[in-house]
């Protein structure tokens, strides 16, 4: 292997180092799929095309591609397999050698899907990376969270433990799934660049580790954040795509100033680092103000005057500027006002500082805001200011509104089994496909009206009618009928939704 390419040499070093520790065999958890994957999932419209960036070692034949959901399996049509050099990061120059275009059957159910690529007897999986929708409505919404710091504090042994932050994150996921946003944005510090063992009562003290060759590995840290561990769920269990951008703590086992190494580690374990996403008339620009493209760390330089700005401008040229432009980045004081003014960006969502805040900047003007934190450990002493918080942003064409910071539970410093959620969904009867009648009760203790809350009924196969909500979709899966219902729940009230067979 040539050592003239520093990124290639870095990746070789990563593999060698991780090979010294348990879990190294899963260092590439998505196998050969680079997009859609982890930090950069995909929202695709049924009946249309999407593309997959795929590393095809040995130029093997692509046999088939399948989307696997909890109750449905969709075989997509392979339209073309393009061969070449498809660069997905202009700083690390990492690339794939295949770009696969596929078409989605028009009658496919709306859901979150695993992406499976079958090739020469092998199966490569990108978990919970594709959301299928029937339409891209001009009215849409997303939840904004930040600074989860998953794996800052570790519970149990290095060999068989888990990130403490998952306890709160798991509870938040329950609330997010009831709210049912179109997607979720996480603005950095997904994991932590050290691991703390044997914390004290304040969430500090103990012993810290910053090393490839000691457990947990960096791959396990990201696996905790995305997939969860020990029965606690990670962000991929939210029933909506979760888009994640890097923060200053999103690397592990290398020097903070080694930008090529940090950026390549993100590419390898999380996928794309700088990218855009079009949803109806909204253009979302996801950037990295910490790991790579170090112009952002040079005084008096504009963060989007270099490689990232060119990449995001190319996205806007390709997809059009739309009606509304939104930037997601990590730090609050690295906004490029020249770019904001030029592109008339109306909103920046960010994190880094853990207290909620809203202000404006630039000539458009641009609203800049952060939500607080959902689950960071070691913050019990000031939980009332920062902990358990999220925002909902609602978009309508070229305008948007946003909530005050909302707390998903009333007592985020309690033990996992004592946490009291401020939004709950309970079924009166069995919801596993054994019944032909059921009721669901949503109790909303939040000071916010929640339009479009989601209830999924899993019923015996049949035809059903619903009261208390609007049927979004119905599809059959073997002996089951899946009925997804949207309902509006006002602030500090409850709402009952019932389902029964049609007469």
DSSP 353-418: SSS-EEEEETTTTEEEEE--BSS-SS-GGGHHHHBTEEEEEEEETTEEEEPPPEESBS-TTS-GGG
Q: Give the rounded distance of the alpha carbon of 220 from its chain centre.
A: 17
Residue-wise pLDDT for 419-448, tens only, equals 999 999 999 999 999 999 999 999 999 999
The pLDDT score that the predictor gives to residue 201 is 77
d(CA 141, CA 138): 10
- 299 pLDDT band, cuts 50/70/90, is low
Region 244-262: what's the mean pLDDT? 94
Q: Is the pLDDT of residue 212 over 80?
A: no
Alpha carbon distances (Å) from 380 to 344, 376, 384: 39, 9, 8
Mean pLDDT, the chain, whole residue set: 92
The two domains 30-132 and 423-501 share their CATH topology (first three levels equal): yes
The pLDDT score that the predictor gives to residue 156 is 95
Q: Is the pLDDT of residue 479 over 70?
A: yes
d(CA 364, CA 360): 9
Instruction: Give the list of residues 6+ apart from residue 207 with CB closer than 8 angstroms, or none.
Output: 196, 197, 198
The pLDDT score that the predictor gives to residue 204 is 86
204 secondary structure, DSSP code: -
Q: Is the pLDDT of residue 411 over 90?
A: yes
d(CA 387, CA 413): 8
The pLDDT score that the predictor gives to residue 214 is 86
Angle (nearest 5°) at CA 187 between 249 and 174 = 105
Sheet-wide strand order for 464-467: 423-427, 438-444, 494-501, 464-467
Residue-wise pLDDT for 95-121, tens only, equals 999 999 999 999 999 999 999 999 988
Domain ranges in the chain? 30-132, 140-409, 423-501
- Does residue 80 contact residue 95 with C-beta atoms inside 8 Å? no
Q: Which residues are 141's β-sheet partners?
A: 394
Which carries the bigger pLDDT value, residue 416 or residue 212? 416
Q: Which of 348, 378, 377 is CA-nearest to residue 364?
A: 348
The pLDDT score that the predictor gives to residue 475 is 98
The pLDDT score that the predictor gives to residue 297 is 55
Residue-wise pLDDT for 480-502, tens only, equals 999 999 999 999 999 999 999 99
d(CA 283, CA 266): 23
Q: Which of 79, 85, 83 is CA-nearest to residue 65?
A: 79
Residue-wise pLDDT for 355-366, tens only, equals 999 999 999 999
The pLDDT score that the predictor gives to residue 31 is 55
Lowest mean pLDDT among 200-214, 236-250, 301-315, 320-334: 200-214
Q: Which helix (H) or strand (E) holds 81?
A: strand 73-87
- 37 pLDDT band, cuts 50/70/90, is very high
- Does residue 146 contact residue 370 with C-beta atoms inside 8 Å? yes
Unique residue bearing structure tokens 């990218």: 275
Fold of the domain built from segment(s) 423-501: Immunoglobulin-like (2.60.40)
Q: Is the pLDDT of residue 190 over 50?
A: yes
% pLDDT > 90, the chain: 85
The pLDDT score that the predictor gives to residue 203 is 83
Fold of the domain built from segment(s) 30-132: Immunoglobulin-like (2.60.40)
How many residues are given for the chain? 503
Angle (nearest 5°) at CA 384 between 412 and 446 = 70
Q: Which of 479, 25, 94 is CA-nearest to residue 271?
A: 94
d(CA 330, CA 308): 14
- 303 pLDDT band, cuts 50/70/90, is confident
d(CA 455, CA 440): 7
Fold of the domain built from segment(s) 140-409: Purple Acid Phosphatase; chain A, domain 2 (3.60.21)
Residue-wise pLDDT for 122-180, tens only, equals 999 999 999 999 999 999 999 999 999 999 999 999 999 999 999 999 999 999 999 99
Q: Is the pLDDT of residue 40 over 60?
A: yes
Region 179-206: what's the mean pLDDT? 93
3-state SS assignment for residue 163: strand
Region 239-246: what's the mean pLDDT? 98
Residue-wise pLDDT for 45-86, tens only, equals 999 999 999 999 888 999 999 999 999 999 999 999 999 999
Q: Is the pLDDT of residue 24 over 50?
A: no
> What's the token pair of residue 223?
């696996």
Which carries the bigger pLDDT value, residue 391 or residue 27? 391
Q: Is the pLDDT of residue 27 over 50?
A: no
Region 237-258: what's the mean pLDDT? 95
Report the predicted TM-score, pTM, of the whole model to 2 decimal places. Answer: 0.94
d(CA 185, CA 387): 17
d(CA 198, CA 242): 31
């Amino acid at each position: 292997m040539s050592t003239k390419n520093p990124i290639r040499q870095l990746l070789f070093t990563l593999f060698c180092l991780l090979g010294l520790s348990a879990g190294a065999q899963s260092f590439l958890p998505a196998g050969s799929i680079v997009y859609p994957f982890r930090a950069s999932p995909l929202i695709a419209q049924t009946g249309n095309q999407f593309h997959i960036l795929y590393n095809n070692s040995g130029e093997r034949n692509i046999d088939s591609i399948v989307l696997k959901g909890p109750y449905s399996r969709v075989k997509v049509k392979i339209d073309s397999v393009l061969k070449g050099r498809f660069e997905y990061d202009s700083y690390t120059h990492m690339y794939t050698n295949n770009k696969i275009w596929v078409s989605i059957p028009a009658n496919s159910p709306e859901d979150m899907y695993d992406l499976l690529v079958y090739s020469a007897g092998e199966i490569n999986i990108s978990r919970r990376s594709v959301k299928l929708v029937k339409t891209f409505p001009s009215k849409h919404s997303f939840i904004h969270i930040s600074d989860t710091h998953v794996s800052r504090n570790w519970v149990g042994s290095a060999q068989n433990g888990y990130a403490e932050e998952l306890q709160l994150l798991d509870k938040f996921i329950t609330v997010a799934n009831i709210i049912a946003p179109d997607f979720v944005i996480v603005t950095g510090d997904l994991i932590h660049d050290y691991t703390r063992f044997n914390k004290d009562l304040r969430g500090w003290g103990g012993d810290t580790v910053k090393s490839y060759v000691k457990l947990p590995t960096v791959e396990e840290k990201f696996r905790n954040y995305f997939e969860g561990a020990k029965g606690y769920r990670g962000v991929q269990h939210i029933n909506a795509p979760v888009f994640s951008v890097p923060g200053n703590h999103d690397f592990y086992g290398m020097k903070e100033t080694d930008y090529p190494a940090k950026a390549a580690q993100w590419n390898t374990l999380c996928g794309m680092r700088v990218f855009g996403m079009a949803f109806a008339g909204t253009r979302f620009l996801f950037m990295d103000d910490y790991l790579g493209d170090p112009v952002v760390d040079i005084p008096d330089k504009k963060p989007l005057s270099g490689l990232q700005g060119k990449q995001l401008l190319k996205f806007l040229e390709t997809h059009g500027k739309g009606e509304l432009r939104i930037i997601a980045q990590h730090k609050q004081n690295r906004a490029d006002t020249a770019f904001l003014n030029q592109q008339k960006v109306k909103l920046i969502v960010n994190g880094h500082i853990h207290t909620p805040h809203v202000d404006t900047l630039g000539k458009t003007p641009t609203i800049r805001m952060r939500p607080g934190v959902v689950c960071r450990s070691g913050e019990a002493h000031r939980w009332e200011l920062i902990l358990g918080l999220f925002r909902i942003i609602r978009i309508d064409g070229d305008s948007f509104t946003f909530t005050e910071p909302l707390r998903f539970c009333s007592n985020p410093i309690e033990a996992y089994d004592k946490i009291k959620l401020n939004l709950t969904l309970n079924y009166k009867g069995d919801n596993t496909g054994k019944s032909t009648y059921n009721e669901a009760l949503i109790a909303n203790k939040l000071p916010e009206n929640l339009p479009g809350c989601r209830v999924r009924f899993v019923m015996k196969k049949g035809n059903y009618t619903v009261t208390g909500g609007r049927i979004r979709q119905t599809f059959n899966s073997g002996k089951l009928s899946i009925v997804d219902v949207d309902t509006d729940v006002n602030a500090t009230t409850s709402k009952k939704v019932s389902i029964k067979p049609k007469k």
